[in-house]
A and B are shown apart, each in its own frame.
Chain A
């Protein structure tokens, strides 16, 4: 019985180890594989459980990567995520590439000015990135169809839950890496 519960615990921690972003930075290939898994979960499973895009694992994950990875690596991961999201469905080409790139640029400029050992900057940054993505999406939707807001009040209300879920994910990501964050403020990024 005890063996069973310990096996369950180890399986759970193994799954969490794969799904949660980690610090210090693992190899690039590990980041790519984890991101692909998150994208698969988000697009294949998340979209059926939360039909109005209420849960956005990818944005919370990417904002963690934007903060904690070197800019070039973060850029490559951004391109991978953007292409995957845009190729899944009929969304305009470049919608995520453009919005995520702006978020990454702002974060990489401001990174050295922020004390990342505290929890609050992680929460605010993730929420702001998520808010920015929602606003950008809604602006594009409005440009394409100005009657969109009139017919989709439930979709608009759902976006506040999406923002809330990003804040929850940011908390989980911070708590799972709090020890590593406290040790090294620069996350090994020298440039």
Chain B
């Protein structure tokens, strides 16, 4: 039996090597999703070193900027105090407006809840600028993060959670070529589906008669997925026509600079359509389906 295995092992490996490219290129070239714990074991091993390296580097940089570069700090402090006072005054007004908006939402029975639970996470690593872009953040299943949750920054949308470990999560960026998002033009409310591109840009296909111009702001539509309505995605930087002259190819520049981002906010929001299915068929059945879909046999 063992002799047979040794004799034919290379042949089996050769057949596997010949077949595997066909299988690989037949897939949509998407990343591993809902990885099981066994597959995540090596990442759990790597993460502590990654976090340690990031922390040491970050603290070193912080130390350098705090103690070695003190020129102009006093002036900056006075300026910041002024800004802080102004912002606190605005906050009081904002609180009033928020309360009013919540009361109105309650009265109109709006489905989207404004006060979502959020988690702030630190960015501990990022990938090279290829069409497949992601970052690693310092919060995971220990903070109840789940696959598909939206990740944002003060400037706008960052991406969504792709994979969750115990103390970390991988975020698929908006500019990843496998990322799709339902968006709309803020000015004209025209909807479309956005796709990530190389060079930190995104592409949006619109009807050729759609009213759009350079500088228009694109926001999330809230129509599909877990992203709430109105989050800033980016601004239009280029408009061209496709070869058939049927659609306008709109190129966007995202508001978030993915190379400099240090902290992100994860919104504990889930896809409403998935929630509706869960309510209809039951959570246990749904989880069973997801686990069967994510198992290697499928």
Chain A interface (Cβ < 8 Å from any Cβ of B): 36, 39-41, 43-45, 47-48, 51-53, 71-72, 75, 80, 83-84, 86-95, 97-98, 101-102, 104-105, 108-109, 137, 140-141, 143-145, 147-148, 151-152, 155, 191
Q: A-contacting residues of B (Cβ < 8 Å)?
A: 6-7, 9-10, 13-14, 16-17, 20-21, 23-25, 27, 29-32, 35, 39-40, 42-43, 45-46, 49-50, 53-54, 57, 125-134, 136, 162-163, 170, 172-173, 176-178, 197-199
Known: A75-B13, A98-B21, A191-B6. A84 touches B176 (CB 8 A): no
- B45 and A48: CB pair below 8 A? no
Q: Tell me, rounded to whole Å, the shortest Cβ–Cβ distance linking B86 to chain A.
A: 37
- Complex CA gap A36/B44 in Å reads 11
Task: Given A48-B53, A71-B13, A87-B163, verify A151-B134 contact (CB < 8 Å).
Answer: no
A40–B10 CB distance below 8 A? no
- Also in contact, A90 and B125, with CB within 8 A (given A40-B46, A98-B21, A191-B9): no
CB distance from A66 to the nearest CB of B (A): 11
Contact assessment for A152 and B129 in the assembled complex, using a CB-CB cutoff below 8 Å: yes
Chain B residues, Cβ within 8 Å of A36 = 42, 45-46
Q: A98, B20: Cβ atoms under 8 Å?
A: yes
What are the 4 A-B residue pairs with the smallest beta carbon separation, nearest first? A151-B199, A44-B50, A90-B134, A105-B17
* Alpha-carbon distance between A89 and B130 when the two chains are bound, in angstroms: 11
**A136, closest chain B residue (CB):** B21
Return chain B residues, CB-CB under 8 Å to A97. Answer: 20, 24
Shortest C-beta distance, B190 to chain A (Å), equals: 24
Chain B's nearest CB lies how many Å from the CB of A9?
25
B128 pairs with A88, CB closer than 8 A: no
In angstroms, Cα B5 to Cα A75, docked, is 14
Question: With A83-B39, A87-B163, A90-B178 known to touch, is A101 a contact of B17 (CB < 8 Å)?
Answer: yes
The answer to whether A144 touches B125 (Cβ under 8 A) is: no
Task: State A48–B50 Cα separation when bound (angstroms).
Answer: 10
Closest to A151 in B: B199
* 16 more A-B residue pairs beyond the given contacts A47-B127, A101-B20, A105-B17, with a C-beta to C-beta distance below 8 A: A36-B45, A39-B42, A41-B49, A45-B49, A87-B163, A89-B127, A91-B130, A92-B24, A93-B27, A94-B27, A98-B24, A109-B14, A141-B132, A144-B29, A144-B132, A147-B198
